[in-house]
Amino acid sequence: MTPLTFALDLGRRGTLVLPCAGTETLVVPIEEATTDATIIRGWWRKWPAAIPATPTGAVTGLVVISVDPDHLAPAARVWYEAHRGVLSTTRACRTPRGFDYWFSLRATASPCRVQGLGGVSVYSDGAYAIHWPACGLWHQGSVQPLPPALLSLFTPRPPVAIPATPVAAAAPQPRTIPQLPVEQSAATEPVKAPARQVSGPYLGDRVADKTLRALRAAGSAGLTRTQISALLKRHQTAERIGTALEHLAQRGLAERHERGSNGGRPAEIWRIAGCEKSE
């Protein structure tokens, strides 16, 4: 099955489809996800090597827990070993870095915001997940409801209070459904477009994970922000890379150094914490 036929099959089954190319980057806005076969065929004529993806969160009722076993933080490894049995009960897919576990979103966790662990990422509202089986990677099982044991990964938003409709005493009035104020209605909140963006502890974000791997590979030589951007194939903004570096520094995983430049502005060099360059 080719990625195109896989995408068309998803659309026939009512699953929203998006084209993803390059380093797992969407080539259309996330709001344009569709099940329309004509639009899907048009995308794949324009990007024949694209891989199908699906929005996660309240828009589809799906969440995906992604695990990178080779880069788990100590706390994340303990969590993964304790929850492997629960994760294996749902649809599991091999990815280039590890495994994706697909769950349907329970009402108690929707909508939600992600709390991440290093090496464990959760994709929900405003994010998307890639269908790696379209590339021939291993997969098994079917999507199951999110079990209670995994609800600790989510923080439900406070419910919106619905004001009671006063009943007139003079005469019976037709029953009406009260309308929520526009600023409080969950249905009117725009879907956020950033690709695979998560909140909570920053080490669950792939930008921070990739930045940390790049610094480890560079060793004592260190890297500038420009070099890090080039290694990430410039698919991330300097602002996101800068934010990732600052969060890594706050957690004691990266350090900023300055290198003189003959009277000019000192160059900013980033290295793994405790990795001093030998002279």
- Fold exhibited by the domain 205-272: Arc Repressor Mutant, subunit A (1.10.10)
Alpha carbons 156 and 158: distance in angstroms, whole number: 6
Question: Vertex 203, ends 202 and 209: CA angle to 5°?
Answer: 125
Domain boundaries, the chain: 3-156, 205-272
Count Cα atoms within 13 angstroms, Cβ side, for 55: 21
Q: What is the pLDDT of residue 172?
A: 61
The residue type of 188 is T
SS3 93: strand
Using CB atoms within 10 Å of the CB of residue 85, give its burial: 0 to 12 exposed, 13 to 18 middle, 19+ buried: exposed
Q: H/E element holding 140?
A: strand 139-140
Which letter does DSSP use for residue 236 in this model?
S
For residues 44 and 50, the answer to whether their CB atoms sit within 8 Å is yes
Q: Is 178 left (phi over 0), alpha (psi -120 to 50) or beta?
A: beta
Q: What is the pLDDT of residue 166?
A: 54
Count of positions (residues) in the chain: 279
Give the pLDDT of the chain (279 residues) as one tens digit per residue: 899 999 999 999 999 999 998 667 899 999 999 999 999 999 999 999 899 999 998 888 898 999 998 888 888 888 889 998 999 999 999 998 899 999 887 654 444 444 557 788 888 888 899 998 988 888 899 999 988 888 777 665 555 455 555 555 555 666 555 555 555 444 444 444 444 443 444 444 677 777 777 777 777 777 777 777 777 765 566 677 778 888 788 877 788 777 655 455 566 787 877 776 544
pTM for this entry: 0.54
Q: What is the pLDDT of residue 44?
A: 94
Instruction: Return the number of other C-beta atoms located less than 10 Å from residue 17's C-beta.
Output: 25
Q: How far does the chain reach from its first CA to its final CA, in angstroms?
A: 55
Count Cα atoms within 13 angstroms, Cβ side, for 266: 8
